[in-house]
Chain A
Amino acid sequence: MTYIPISPTEREAMLKTIGVESLEALFEAVPARYRFPKLNLPPALTEMEAASLLTEIAASNENTRGDLVSFLGAGMYNHYIPSVVDHILRRGEFYTAYTPYQPEISQGTLQAIFEYQSLMAALTGMELSNASHYDGATAAAESVNMAFANFRGKRRKVVISPTVHPQYRETIRTYTQGMELTLVGDDATADLQAAPEALIPWIDLDTALVIVQYPDFFGRIFDYTRLIDAAHAQGALVCVVANPIALALFKTPGAMGADIVVGEGQPLGIPMWFGGPSLGFFTTRKQYVHKMAGRLVGETVDSRGQRGYVLTLTAREQHIKREKATSNICTNQGLLALASAVYLATVGKTGLKQVANLCYQKAHYAAEELSKIPGVGLCFPQPFFHEFAVCFPKPVAEINEHLLEYGILGGYDLGQDYPALKDHALIAVTEMNSRDEIDLLVEVVKEALS
Chain B
Amino acid sequence: MTEPTLFELSSPGRAGVTFPQPDVPHFDLPDESLLRDDLPLPELAEVDVVRHYMALSRYNYSVDSGFYPLGSCTMKYNPKVNEDACRLPGFLFTHPLQPIETVQGNLLLMYQMQEWLKEISGFAAVTLQPAAGAHGEFTGVLMMRAYHKARGDHKRVKMLIPDAAHGTNPASAGMLGMTVKVIPSDSRGNVDLDALRAECDETVVGMMLTNPNTLGLFDEHIEEVIKLVRDCGGLMYGDGANLNALLGIVRPGDLGFDVMHFNLHKTFAVPHGGGGPGSGPVGVSQRLADFLPSPLVGIVEEADGETPPLYGFITPKHSIGRMKAFHGHFGGGLVRAYTYIAMHGADGLKDVSQYAVLNANYLAARLRNTFKIPFDRICMHEFVMEGRVEGSDVRALDISKRLMDYNFHPPTNYFPLIVREALMIEPTETENKNTLDAFAEALLKIAEEAKTDPELVKTAPHTTPFGRMDEVKAARELVLCCWLPEGYDSNQ
* B444 is an interface residue with CB less than 8 A from chain A: no
Distance of A179 Cα from B138 Cα, bound (Å): 13
* A281 is an interface residue with CB less than 8 A from chain B: no
Q: Which residue of B lies closest to A369 (CB)?
A: B24
Q: Which residue of A lies closest to B9 (CB)?
A: A345
- B60-68, B196-204, B385-393: which one contacts chain A? B60-68
* Chain B residues with CB below 8 A from A104, complex form: 401, 404, 461, 464-469
* Chain B residues with CB below 8 A from A97, complex form: 60-63, 272-274
Chain B min CB distance to A248 (Å) = 6
Distance of A330 Cα from B59 Cα, bound (Å): 23
* Chain A residues with CB below 8 A from B64, complex form: 92-93, 96
* Known interface pairs A111-B3, A134-B131, A310-B471; A248-B90 also in contact (CB < 8 Å): no
Chain B min CB distance to A215 (Å) = 11
Contacting residues of chain A (365-390) with chain B, CB-CB under 8 angstroms: 365, 368, 383
* A157 is an interface residue with CB less than 8 A from chain B: no
- Cβ A64 vs Cβ B94 within 8 A: yes
Q: Using an 8 Å CB-CB cutoff, how does the interface string of B188-220 with A read, 1 for contact, 0 for none?
A: 000000000000000000000000000001111
Neighbour of A348 across the interface among B16, B61, B326, CB < 8 A: B16
Interface of chain B, main secondary structure:
loop
Neighbour of A177 across the interface among B145, B354, B482, CB < 8 A: B145
Contacting residues of chain A (119-170) with chain B, CB-CB under 8 angstroms: 119, 121-123, 125, 127-129, 131-132, 134-138, 145, 165, 167-168, 170
**Chain A: interface residue total (CB-CB under 8 A):** 209
Contacting residues of chain A (17-45) with chain B, CB-CB under 8 angstroms: 17-20, 23-24, 26-31, 34-45
* Known interface pairs A98-B70, A319-B167, A322-B171; A329-B134 also in contact (CB < 8 Å): yes
- Cβ A134 vs Cβ B320 within 8 A: no
* Chain A residues with CB below 8 A from B330, complex form: 273-277
Distance of A44 Cα from B343 Cα, bound (Å): 5
Contacting residues of chain B (156-204) with chain A, CB-CB under 8 angstroms: 166-168, 170-178, 180
- Cβ B273 vs Cβ A95 within 8 A: yes
* B419 is an interface residue with CB less than 8 A from chain A: no
* Known interface pairs A41-B119, A298-B478; A105-B464 also in contact (CB < 8 Å): yes
Neighbour of B471 across the interface among A72, A312, A404, CB < 8 A: A312
- Cβ A334 vs Cβ B92 within 8 A: no
Distance of A11 Cα from B468 Cα, bound (Å): 38
- Cβ B16 vs Cβ A82 within 8 A: yes
* Known interface pairs A44-B348, A333-B276; A96-B271 also in contact (CB < 8 Å): yes
- Cβ B432 vs Cβ A273 within 8 A: no
Distance of A13 Cα from B433 Cα, bound (Å): 10
* A247 is an interface residue with CB less than 8 A from chain B: yes
Which of B145, B223, B326, B347: most chain A Cβ within 10 A?
Answer: B326
Distance of A180 Cα from B145 Cα, bound (Å): 14
- Cβ A178 vs Cβ B145 within 8 A: yes
* B229 is an interface residue with CB less than 8 A from chain A: no
- Cβ A29 vs Cβ B277 within 8 A: no
- Cβ A365 vs Cβ B27 within 8 A: yes
Neighbour of A295 across the interface among B19, B275, B279, CB < 8 A: B275
Distance of A134 Cα from B272 Cα, bound (Å): 14
- Cβ A350 vs Cβ B18 within 8 A: yes
- Cβ A168 vs Cβ B103 within 8 A: no
- A187-195, A230-238, A355-363: which one contacts chain B? A355-363
* Chain B residues with CB below 8 A from A74, complex form: 97
* Chain B residues with CB below 8 A from A333, complex form: 273, 276-277
* Known interface pairs A31-B222, A170-B321, A251-B35; A302-B467 also in contact (CB < 8 Å): yes
- Cβ B41 vs Cβ A50 within 8 A: no
* Chain A residues with CB below 8 A from B278, complex form: 331
Q: Which residue of B lies closest to A254 (CB)?
A: B36
* A249 is an interface residue with CB less than 8 A from chain B: yes
- Cβ B17 vs Cβ A72 within 8 A: no
Neighbour of A10 across the interface among B279, B433, B481, CB < 8 A: B433
- Cβ B275 vs Cβ A334 within 8 A: yes
* Known interface pairs A6-B433, A276-B332; A26-B59 also in contact (CB < 8 Å): no
* B371 is an interface residue with CB less than 8 A from chain A: no
Q: Using an 8 Å CB-CB cutoff, how does the interface string of A48-75 with B read, 1 for contact, 0 for none?
A: 0011011111111111111110101011
Distance of A383 Cα from B478 Cα, bound (Å): 39
* Chain A residues with CB below 8 A from B468, complex form: 103-104, 302-303
Distance of A128 Cα from B272 Cα, bound (Å): 25
* Chain A residues with CB below 8 A from B377, complex form: 29
Q: Which residue of B lies closest to A346 (CB)?
A: B16
* B309 is an interface residue with CB less than 8 A from chain A: no
* Known interface pairs A6-B358, A277-B333, A383-B34; A350-B15 also in contact (CB < 8 Å): yes
Chain B min CB distance to A413 (Å) = 9
Contacts A/B (CB < 8 Å), 24 sampled: A27-B218, A28-B378, A41-B120, A84-B46, A95-B273, A96-B64, A107-B60, A119-B6, A138-B131, A174-B323, A178-B145, A271-B92, A277-B329, A302-B467, A306-B466, A322-B174, A331-B275, A333-B273, A334-B274, A341-B6, A361-B24, A365-B24, A412-B97, A434-B23
- With A121-B481, A275-B95 already in contact, 9 other A-B pairs whose C-beta atoms are closer than 8 Å: A3-B76, A45-B342, A60-B105, A82-B46, A105-B464, A122-B39, A264-B325, A300-B471, A334-B273
* Closest CB pairs A-B (n = 4): A275-B326, A58-B90, A273-B331, A275-B96
